[in-house]
């Protein structure tokens, strides 16, 4: 499409994937470049294909992995993995059968590339700037860190993409979130996105695609950018995006599924042209002072109830707010620091990449997890696990008293055997702190890997910054 007007990154990707534009009565038809699938949201979609006698339209654009229902217990061989629970076991078997029957690539238990769906796409180089990417998972927005338009879809839509490689969509509006300045030591990408959600609210991005911009975003590596985009959905946004730049290119170059040779050179030129034009306008914008940010922790039952780690919990007469504080057993007017912690979880599609594990390890090195605290460290993929072990991070974790696990979603959603017991408090690097998210009756404080590690050491919610001063 030839369009001479100034356009945003989102508008450029959207326009080049339109099969048919929307009308007042009908959504647009959008072509999908990459369809990621996992074992939880696909069984019904494949049943639909069988009922209608349909094949998968583009098997070569579909990639499956095991992550949500799969166990993370340490084993000597993948054959020793025991799926916990009848429902989870059925999902795993169905995924294996469906991928075999429809001729789809599946990174199964025995694959050294297996891992969380939003970790393996980027590390394989399958996630690329300018692509449209969908998955039956809310946090597909992660891939927007590369300048892709990536978002989660429902089970019925999974079936539609499998059958047609297209999707019906209304065009979202655009929101620019500018994070200016530089982050202080101890402040990470997780703190940035929690601060953003705290400012704009859990519905602040509803009906919009967020583009993250500004000096603090530009200074981030790709792992950090993925953390930011990952939690766009927690602000209600359809997707989150960051313009591709030289940092993006350096990450992708040489990846197994990235272009090679002349194709790479041509791709780089195309990708770098995707950035938002200087004169382009957004439907709305928000500015965050990166210089002023501190490590953040949630105190309630959604990611928007968040404060700097040392600040007191605010008060409100709102009934849902008071209900959240009651559930979390926290008191307005007092900080969370010092609140007793039972479980610490480092992992999930938000914070399970190698740099996340390094941040936690740097805090834990030479220190011990407090008595009575259970700490799980779960790499996001088998490749991350392998690299962490090469760097000796696994030894730092185990010597401190933490558990070093196989890759998977683990304690993020508590459907694979890794759960927080009822009433216990977890400091978690995952993305959702809803009631019961990590287990029935579990209480969750969302935080960065640094804050999680500091809390494990002290046995209570803790500020990580003093641990950087050695």
* Domain match, 103 and 196 both: no
Is 351 contained in some domain? yes
Residue 2 resides in a domain: no
Mean pLDDT in residue range 193-218: 98
Half-sphere exposure of 245 (CA within 13 A, CB side): 15
Q: How far apart are CA 110 and CA 304, in angstroms?
A: 39
Q: What is the pLDDT at residue 81?
A: 58
Q: Between residues 284 and 82, which one has the greater pLDDT? A: 284
The structure tokens listed for 228 are: 């930011």
Do 209 and 107 lie in a common domain? no
pLDDT at residue 401 greater than cutoff 50: yes
Residues 324 and 384 in one domain: yes
Q: What is the pLDDT of residues 239-287, one digit of tens each?
A: 999 999 999 999 999 999 999 999 999 999 999 999 999 999 999 999 9
CATH number at residue 113: 3.30.499.10
Residue 260 lies in a domain: no
Q: Which residue has the higher pLDDT, 324 or 93?
A: 324
Residues 149 and 210 in one domain: no
Query: Are 143 and 235 contained in the same domain?
Result: no
For residues 181 and 52, state if they share a domain.
Answer: no
Structural domains in the chain (count): 3
Please give the pLDDT value at position 72. 86
Tokens of 239: 């997707």
Report pLDDT digits (tens) over 33-81.
999 999 988 999 999 999 999 999 999 999 999 898 888 887 655 555 5
Point out the domain boundary residue: 107, 141, 169: 169
Domain assignment present for residue 258? The answer is: no
Is 422 inside any structural domain?
yes
- pLDDT at residue number 1: 45
Q: What is the pTM of this model?
A: 0.96
Over residues 83-103, the mean pLDDT reads 86
Strand, coil or helix: what is 12? Answer: helix
Regarding whether 206 and 133 lie in a shared domain, the answer is no
Boundary of a domain, candidates 105, 138, 169: 169
Domain end position, chosen among 154, 169, 184: 169
Q: How far apart, in Å, do the first and last CA atoms of the chain sit?
A: 56
137-195 pLDDT, tens per residue? 999 999 999 999 999 999 999 999 999 999 999 999 999 999 999 999 999 999 999 99
Q: Are 351 and 379 in contact (CB under 8 A)?
A: no
Residue 179 sits in the same domain as residue 163: no
Nearest in space to 256 (alpha carbons), one of 142, 105, 120:
120
Looking at every residue in the chain, the average pLDDT score rounds to: 95
Q: 250 in a domain, yes or no?
A: no
Quote the domain boundaries for residue 37.
Answer: 9-169
342 plus 374 within the same structural domain: yes
Same domain, 404 and 444: yes
Asked if residue 182 lies in contact with residue 242, where contact means CB atoms within 8 angstroms, the answer is no
pLDDT in tens, 113-141: 999 999 999 999 999 999 999 999 999 99
Note whether residue 261 is domain-resident.
no
Residue 264: inside a domain: no
């Amino acid at each position: 499409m030839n369009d001479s007007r100034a356009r945003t990154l989102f508008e450029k990707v959207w326009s080049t994937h339109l099969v048919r534009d929307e009308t007042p009565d009908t959504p647009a038809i959008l072509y999908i470049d990459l369809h990621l699938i996992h074992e939880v949201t696909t069984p019904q979609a494949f049943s639909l294909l069988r009922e209608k006698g349909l094949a998968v339209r583009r098997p070569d654009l579909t990639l499956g992995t095991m992550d949500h229902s799969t166990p993370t217990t340490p084993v000597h061989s993948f054959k020793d993995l025991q799926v916990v629970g009848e429902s989870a076991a059925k999902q795993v078997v169905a995924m294996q059968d469906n991928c075999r029957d429809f001729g789809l690539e599946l990174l199964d238990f025995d694959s050294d590339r297996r891992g969380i769906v939003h970790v393996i796409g980027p590390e394989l180089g399958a996630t690329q700037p300018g692509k449209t990417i969908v998955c039956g998972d809310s946090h597909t927005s992660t891939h927007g860190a590369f300048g892709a338009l990536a978002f989660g879809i429902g089970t019925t839509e999974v079936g539609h993409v499998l059958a047609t490689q297209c999707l019906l969509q209304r065009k979202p509006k655009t929101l620019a979130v500018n994070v200016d300045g530089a982050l202080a030591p101890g402040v990470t990408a997780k703190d940035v996105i929690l601060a953003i959600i705290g400012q704009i609210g859990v519905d602040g991005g509803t009906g919009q695609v967020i583009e993250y911009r500004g000096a603090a975003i530009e200074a981030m590596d790709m792992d950090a950018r993925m953390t930011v985009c990952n939690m766009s959905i927690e602000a209600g946004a359809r997707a989150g995006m960051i313009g591709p730049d030289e940092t993006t290119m350096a990450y992708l170059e040489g990846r197994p599924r990235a272009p090679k040779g002349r194709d790479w050179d041509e791709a780089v030129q195309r990708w770098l042209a995707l950035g938002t034009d200087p004169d382009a306008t957004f439907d709305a914008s928000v500015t965050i002072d990166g210089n002023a940010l501190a490590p953040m922790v949630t105190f309630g039952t959604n990611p928007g109830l968040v404060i700097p780690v040392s600040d007191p919990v605010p008060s409100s007469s709102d009934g849902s707010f008071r209900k959240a504080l009651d559930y979390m057993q926290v008191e307005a007017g007092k900080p969370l620091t010092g609140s007793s912690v039972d479980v610490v979880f480092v992992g999930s599609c938000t914070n399970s990449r190698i740099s996340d594990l390094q941040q936690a390890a740097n805090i834990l090195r030479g220190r011990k997890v407090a008595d009575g605290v259970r700490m799980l460290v779960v790499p996001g993929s088998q490749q991350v696990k392998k690299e962490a072990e090469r760097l000796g991070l696994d030894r730092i974790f185990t010597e401190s008293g933490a558990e070093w696990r196989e890759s998977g979603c683990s304690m993020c959603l508590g459907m694979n055997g890794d759960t927080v017991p009822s009433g216990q408090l977890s400091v978690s690097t995952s993305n959702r702190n809803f009631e019961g998210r990590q287990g029935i009756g579990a209480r969750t404080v969302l935080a960065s890997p640094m804050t999680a590690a500091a809390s494990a050491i002290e046995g209570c919610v803790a500020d990580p910054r003093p641990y950087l001063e050695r």
